[in-house]
Amino acid sequence: MVNTTDALSRARLLLQLGRPADAERELRGILAEEPQHSGAHGLMGVALVQQGRTDEALEESREAVRLAPDHWVPHYLSGQVHQRAGLTEEALRATAACLALAPEHVPAWDLLARVHLTRKDWPQVAAAARRGLELEPQDADLAGLLSMALTMLGQDEQARAVAAQAVGNDPESTLAHWARGLAALSGGDPGTAAGAFREVLRLDPGVEGARDYLVHALKQRNPVLRLLSQWRQRFVGGWRLLFLLPVLPPVIAVFAIIALLHWVAWLVESWTTLRLTRNRTTRLLFEGPAARVSLLCCALPVAGAVLLGLGIGLGLDGLGSAGTATMALVTPVQEAAHTGSPIGRRILYGWAVLLAAAALAAAVTGAFLPALLATYAALATVWFAAGVRKIFRPREAV
Model confidence pLDDT, tens digit, residues 88-129? 999 999 999 999 999 999 999 999 999 999 999 999 999 999
Residues 177, 271 within the same domain: no
pLDDT tens, position by position, 147-201? 999 999 999 999 999 999 999 999 999 999 999 999 999 988 888 998 999 899 8
Measured distance CA(168)–CA(140) in Å, rounded: 8
**Are 180 and 314 members of one domain?**
no
Range in 98-107, 122-131, 139-148, 224-233 the model is least confident about: 224-233
Asked whether residue 158 is domain-assigned, the answer is yes
Give the rounded distance of the alpha carbon of 303 from its chain centre.
Answer: 34
In this structure, is residue 365 part of a structural domain? yes
Same domain membership, residue 264 and residue 365: yes
**Of 26-35, 250-259, 303-312, which gets the smallest average pLDDT?**
250-259
CB proximity list for 110: less than 8 A, separation 6 or greater? 128, 129, 132, 139, 141, 142, 145
Domain of residue 140, CATH code:
1.25.40.10
User: 71 in the Ramachandran plot: left (φ > 0), alpha (ψ -120 to 50) or beta?
Assistant: beta
- Please determine, for residue 394, whether its predicted confidence score (pLDDT) is greater than 70: no
Provide the mean pLDDT of the chain.
87
The total number of structural domains in the chain stands at 3
Q: Is residue 322 pLDDT above 60, yes or no?
A: yes
pLDDT tier for residue 25 given thresholds of 50, 70 and 90: very high
**Percent with pLDDT over 90 in the chain:** 59
- Among 103, 125, 156, identify where a domain stops: 103
Range of the structural domain that residue 281 is part of: 228-391
Question: For residue 397, what pLDDT band results from cuts at 50, 70 and 90?
Answer: very low
Do residues 134 and 103 touch, judged by C-beta distance below 8 A? no
What pLDDT is recorded for position 395? 47
Same domain as 381, residue 242: yes
Answer whether residue 300 is part of any domain.
yes
398 belongs to a structural domain: no
Question: CB count, 10 Å around CB of 284?
Answer: 9
| pLDDT surpasses 80 at 254 | no
Evaluate whether 217 touches 193 at the Cβ level (below 8 Å).
Answer: yes
Same domain, 271 and 340: yes
Q: CB within 8 A of 369, min separation 6: which ones? A: none
Phi and psi, residue 68, nearest 5°: -140, 70
Could you give the CA distance from residue 323 to residue 4 in angstroms, rounded to a whole number?
77
Position 235 confidence tier, pLDDT thresholds 50, 70, 90: low
Do the domain assignments include residue 397? no
User: Could you tell me the pTM of the whole model?
Assistant: 0.68
Contact 228, 265 (CB under 8 A): yes
Q: How far apart are CA 248 and CA 163, in angstroms?
A: 49
Which one of 221, 239, 258 terminates a domain? 221
Residue 95 and residue 135 share a domain: no
Shared-domain flag, residues 216 and 251 = no
User: Cα 250–252–255 angle (5° rounding)?
Assistant: 130
